[in-house]
Amino acid sequence: MKLPKSLQQKLNQREANNALRDLPVTNGLIDFASNDYIGFAKNEAIFHETHQILLDKNIPVNGATGSRLLSGNHALYNETENFIAKFHRADSALILNSGYDANIGFFSCVPQRNDVILFDELCHASIRDGIQTSNAKSYKFQHNDLEDLEKRLKSCHTERIRGALFEIYLVTESVFSMDGDCPNLEELTNLCDKYGVYLVIDEAHAIGVFGESGEGLVQSLGLQDKVFARIMTFGKGLGCHGAAILGSEELKKYLVNFARSFIYTTALSPHSVATILMSYHHLTTAKNEINSLKSNFTIFNREKMRLGLKPLFIYSKSAIQSAIIPGNERVKNIAVQLQEKGFDIKPILSPTVPEGQERLRFCIHNYNTEKEILNVLQLLATFVF
């Protein structure tokens, strides 16, 4: 059966803009594209230990069999959530099926009607989608712009002085997925204290990267007690699947009762939860992997400078390094040339990013060699200059 005409027209328009997405296949190229920053997705020890813990605990089960509120809350959930909460110095952790589910679940039910959500304009689609399902009012502020944010906060404060009753939720990311940059979290927490704001931080791209044990940027700065909720996603640095919302025991109880993306979905399988637990166990002793990753940051930034590439790149101290190359066609062509030389580099096209902000997104890993970093940047310089 043919697509409705309106849908076909939208596909045709994407194709005309050279922005049509398709599903890539595994290519065997040198990895500068995945979010597997410290190699946990390919870690054989985690793979075997996950299988072993299921055997040791006599859990020969393939699926969860239902939602966590029905039959899917198997024994590993409690052990894993307790471990995660202790590791992140949080009162509680609630595991959900993905980072997307976590953000949808949180923002759809926590901010109430007449409450206000202030969000960074570059927040991830999952945050924005969650906000759209909320009954709260929402306003974006300019990316990492504390002055613009405080203007918004002052306006809200004025309304409160006049007698309006509402809560304010401020949401940002500790590492932004497309730019790789970070907000000033110390100043953010100061503003939240000043104006009585509930701070929510998505740490998807910080776990496994920041801190001595990969605990994330918030905790590495000792700010965990100033954050109302942290969203920890496992599909990046932990190399597995799922996510957890960290917060108070009362917040966990509330989410169990009102977060629809938690309530109305089949739970993760025992194998998935066991993988999360084993990945966290390995994270506690992953200093070598994390130090190797940080060393590669230094090498990458040094070579950017040497080759005159620094002006192309957005400032970043994270594993995500983005070179702005405007135009879908041009950035795709350069990505293809790099791929033909053996490097898996993905172009990020509009409308995923704003028109004129198309880019090559380099993801740095602990297993990238110095030679690989030097070669890929030398090729980039050849293709863009």
The number of helix segments (H) and strand segments (E) in the chain equals 14, 12
Contact 102, 129 (CB under 8 A): no
pLDDT tens readout for residues 261-270: 999 999 999 9
SS3 172: strand
pLDDT tens readout for residues 185-235: 999 999 999 999 999 999 999 999 999 999 999 999 999 999 999 999 999
The whole-angstrom separation of Cα 64 and Cα 33 is 31
The whole-angstrom separation of Cα 273 and Cα 94 is 12
**pLDDT value of residue 246:** 98
Angle, in degrees to the nearest 10, between helices 270-283 and 44-56: 120
- Who's near 58: CB < 8 A, 6+ residues apart? none
* Strand blocks (E) in the chain: 30-31, 92-96, 116-120, 137-141, 168-173, 198-202, 229-233, 243-247, 320-324, 343-344, 346-348, 359-363
**pLDDT value of residue 359:** 97
pLDDT of 58 above 90? yes
- Neighbour count for residue 51 (Cβ, 10 Å): 14
Show the DSSP H helices in 134-269 as ranges. 146-161, 185-195, 217-220, 249-258, 260-263
Q: How confident is the model at residue 19 (pLDDT cuts 50, 70, 90)?
A: confident
Question: DSSP code of 7?
Answer: H
Q: Three-state secondary structure along 82-134?
A: HHHHHHCCCCEEEEECCHHHHHHHHHHHCCCCCCEEEEECCCCHHHHHHHHCC
pLDDT tens readout for residues 328-363: 999 999 999 999 999 999 999 999 999 999 999 999
- Looking at the chain, the whole-number percentage of residues with pLDDT higher than 90 is 95
pLDDT of 18 above 90? no
**pLDDT value of residue 25:** 80
**pLDDT value of residue 139:** 97
23 or 255, higher pLDDT: 255
β-pairing verdict for 229-233 and 320-324: unpaired
The whole-angstrom separation of Cα 80 and Cα 62 is 18
| Residue 342 zone, left/alpha/beta (φ > 0; ψ -120 to 50; rest) | left
**pLDDT value of residue 82:** 98
Contact 204, 99 (CB under 8 A): yes
pLDDT tens readout for residues 285-332: 999 999 999 999 999 999 999 999 999 999 999 999 999 999 999 999
pLDDT of 27 above 90? no
pLDDT of 11 above 90? yes
User: What mean pLDDT is reported for the chain?
Assistant: 96
**pLDDT value of residue 108:** 97
pLDDT of 161 above 90? no
Q: How confident is the model at residue 86 (pLDDT cuts 50, 70, 90)?
A: very high
CA angle 318, 323, 325 (to 5 degrees): 160
